[in-house]
Structure 1
Amino acid sequence: MRVATVVILAGTLAAAGAVVASVQAAPETASKPAAATLKTAASFQSIKDPGARSVALFTEAGKVIQSPRCLNCHPVERAPTQGDDLHPHNPPMKAGDSGHGPAGLPCFSCHGEANVPTWGQNIKSIPGDPKWALAPAEMAWQGKSLGQICAQLKDPARNGGKTMAQIHHHMAEDHLVGWGWNPGAGRTPAPGTQAQFGELIKAWIDTGAKCPKA
């Protein structure tokens, strides 16, 4: 049975859990695409103006924020996308009221608590995490400029009521965010490491949380 068929069945049959389990034995032999690098927060110390340094720090962090690993889960249209090219989710899926899929077809119909390698040529693994879900609607980023995303992150009215400390905690320590650096075979990891990303966000906040103009 082709992987595409497995995925469709997993998304449409009540026995989806058994289908996913059937591919767990497949060895994850395919190597992950190489991740891009990420500068450390300390490397921006030479920028003396705090505002300019803050913008530079967020611009570097934007390599993660605007990577496919983040954007796929932050869609404006409340429908997840997939892959490094952000193509529509297959099978078609919507967030639903909970962000965990529509009634009767939750994300966990296919996505378990960990990545599952498959035998497929086009789909090398099914991603998974204990907290697998779309980002809430107020954190939708796809199609927005880095400056727009930055302003949204800072605004409690548009970021789910989060403080800057909570934003930092989410970026630096959230397990689902960390999945972006361990996305399973067939997906390019987010640039750098989650620790580097968290340090960039912390330094950005400490320098005034300034935003790029564009």
Structure 2
Amino acid sequence: MSAAATRLLPVLAAFALGGTIAPSPAADGVSGDTLRSVESFASIRDPAKRSAALFVEAGKVIQHPRCLNCHPATRVPTQGDHLRPHVPPMVGGVSDHGAAGLPCATCHGAENQPTSSPGIKTIPGNPHWGLAPAEMAWQGRTLTQICAQVKDPRRNGGFTLQKLIPHMGEDHLVGWAWHPGEGRRPAPGTQAQFGALIKAWVESGAHCPAG
């Protein structure tokens, strides 16, 4: 952990004790939520309806706090299961990795870091830690709106549908959502299950749920 991060921990802890950050009582990689298998949707005979249902299931991950916190429309990250404002105050900046004077790497390292500060069990970490690009911001949008956005290369970071499959199912930063560190509730299921749902959704026509 950086020296700057060490200096910030007492400040973060003070905010936590004041109720700004409330870690979830879940261990790293252990979630009470599950994802249905692709095979469980085989009974839906209409391909378009089956495709939309697959995306709804994948939406359990896409709209989970572990993902939403890094996909804010305001370019200001949020924290916790209730999408609280980031502490200390942060902005994505030009590079999506923080402002010039306070980059994300000030506190976030290449991996989750345990702390001894009250109220904060771990500081999240990944070699590419930062906000999703502005065009991939979907916090506050409905699943139907997110689906249309995810399909549009102009609004999804330039991904084609085929390139979305490995991005969702294999990308290491996306995978952090299932290994968020002690004190945070992981995303439902596993990244492999999520990737399989996205693959089946794409291969069935990438239809969006009504809404």
- TM-score bracket, normalised by the shorter chain, equals 0.7 to 0.9
Q: Secondary structure at the match of 2:196?
A: helix
Could you give the per-residue CA deviations for residues 37-85 of structure 1, whole angstroms, max 9, x where no partner exists? 1111111111111101001100000000000000000000000000111
Within the candidate set 152, 157, 160, 1:155 is matched to 152
Q: Would the aligned equivalents of 1:55 and 1:212 in 2 still touch at CA under 8 Å?
A: yes
Q: For 1:12-31, what aligned pairs fall within 5 Å after superposition?
A: 15-16=3-4, 19=7
- Write the distance in 1 (CA, Å) between the matches of 2:50 and 2:98: 40
Could you give the per-residue CA deviations for residues 117-158 of structure 1, whole angstroms, max 9, x where no partner exists? 112332111000011110000000100000000000001121
Runs of 4+ that moved beyond 2 A: 17-21
- Write the distance in 2 (CA, Å) between the matches of 1:84 and 1:155: 28
Q: For 1:62-211, what aligned pairs fall within 5 Å after superposition?
A: 62-211=59-208
C-alpha displacement of 1:17: 5.5
- Write the distance in 2 (CA, Å) between the matches of 1:16 and 1:202: 41
Out of 113-122 and 191-200, give the one that drifted further: 113-122
Could you give the per-residue CA deviations for residues 176-209 of structure 1, whole angstroms, max 9, x where no partner exists? 0000000001110000000000000000001000
Q: Secondary structure at the match of 2:159?
A: coil
- Write the distance in 2 (CA, Å) between the matches of 1:31 and 1:212: 31
Q: Would the aligned equivalents of 1:35 and 1:190 in 2 still touch at CA under 8 Å?
A: no
C-alpha displacement of 1:35: 3.5
What value does the CA root-mean-square deviation take over the aligned residues?
Answer: 1.9
> What is the TM-score when the length of structure 1 is the normalising length?
0.86
Match of 1:24 in 2: none
- Write the distance in 2 (CA, Å) between the matches of 1:207 and 1:147: 17
Match of 1:50 in 2: 47
C-alpha displacement of 1:170: 1.0
- Write the distance in 2 (CA, Å) between the matches of 1:176 and 1:107: 14
Instruction: Tell me the number of residue pairs that the alignment of Structure 1 and Structure 2 aligns.
Output: 194
Q: Would the aligned equivalents of 2:26 and 2:184 in 1 still touch at CA under 8 Å?
A: no
Query: Structure 2 unaligned runs (5+)?
Result: 10-24
- Write the distance in 1 (CA, Å) between the matches of 2:36 and 2:120: 31
Q: Secondary structure at the match of 1:160?
A: coil
